Homo-oligomer: A and B are copies of this chain.
Amino acid sequence: MRAVVLGEGGQLAVREVSLEDAGPGEALVRVLVAGICSTDLELRRGYMGFQGVPGHEFVGRVERAPAGHETLLGKRVVGEINAACGQCETCARGLPRHCPRRTVLGILGRSGAMAELLWLPAGNLREVPDVLATDRALFTEPVAAAYEVLEQVAVRGKRVLVMGAGKLGGLVAQVLALAGASVTVVGRHERLLVPLAEAGISVTASVESLPPRSFPMIVEATGQPEGFERALGLVEPRGTIVLKSTCASARPLNLAPVVIDEVTVIGSRCGPFEPSLAALAAGRLSPESTIDARFELDDASSAFDEASRPGIRKVVLDISS
């Protein structure tokens, strides 16, 4: 099958690769579309030291299903990207997304979705309701990551600053607004702020215009290593910073302000698929409007270049139809 392959030094190639064997309980999925996420761009810069087939945002159709999961055959699906062992203490605690033995689709020890076919445990797959178009369903995973914030912090009635109006920041802002937070988004690109403003969210392009130490809660989704320090300057004493950005690079950092201002910092990664699918199916979110470009699988290199341009939101690979 054809697949995007990330090699040493961030080299991207599209080439023929052989399909791996099925792992236990895995289903084979023909990928319809795959999205390029900021994490994929960071993988290319060396984050996680990943080499292989990247891609973890996808919609596909089930071609082979393991015993007991035959009803999935032929269905359109999205997939929870963390494949847990199901047997360790962390799994027993109900935290499969944190299983220390997990593999993660296109990120850690598992070939990803930028390929014609992928394997995932059948239990990771969620059927896409007929009412939900493929392009919208493609956002199930990043919208779930936005819903994760709601699992961690009570936001109703809270004044929240979302830093970053990009792929994830825009979704977080909308999900928090839906949950009753009073959201302000700060981002550098006017064209990303306009649709958020039209959705009734307060926006600004000038981080300097924001009063220092004034927000009880901040979601840092800039994708930039310096975002955290900016957030520290904007959060009020005893406030909360939810960290969404993962970057490949370290940066000199003094954590004294965290101590002095008694700030709470909460790391936030993948989230629950159920509320995400429900919100997308009900039309409470229509993130397909943020698809800025589409490419064929063979043009993946151009797709990554486009996705790396400042101010570009979702770039989609059309893989099968």
Residues of A with Cβ closer than 8 Å to B? 47, 90, 95, 98, 100, 152, 213, 225, 228, 236-238, 243-247, 249-269
Contact = CB atoms under 8 A, between A and B. Distances in A.
A236 B259 CA distance: 21
A38 to B, nearest CB: 12
Contact of A95 (B47, B237, B265): B237
Closest 7 CB pairs of A and B: A98-B237, A258-B267, A250-B254, A265-B265, A259-B267, A250-B252, A253-B253
B255 A252 contact: no
Contact of A261 (B258, B264, B267): B267
Contacts of A246: 256, 259-260
Contact of A259 (B249, B263, B264, B269): B269
Contact of A100 (B213, B255, B265): B213
B213 A95 contact: no
B262 A266 contact: yes
A263 B265 CA distance: 8
A267 to B, nearest CB: 4
Nearest to A148: B262
Contact of A98 (B98, B152, B262): B262
A262 B269 contact: yes
A178 to B, nearest CB: 22
Nearest to A216: B93
Contacts of A47: 256
A31 B260 CA distance: 26
Nearest to A262: B267
A100 B263 CA distance: 14
A107 to B, nearest CB: 10
A262 B268 CA distance: 5
A159 to B, nearest CB: 13
A247 B252 CA distance: 13
Contact of A253 (B95, B250, B256): B250
Contacts of A258: 243, 265, 267
Nearest to A236: B90
Contacts of A100: 213, 237
Contacts of A249: 254
A268 B264 contact: no
Nearest to A268: B262
A91 to B, nearest CB: 11
B254 A263 contact: no
A254 to B, nearest CB: 4
Contacts of A244: 259
Nearest to A151: B262
A249 to B, nearest CB: 7
B261 A268 contact: no
Contacts of A247: 254-256
A47 B255 CA distance: 12
A212 to B, nearest CB: 9
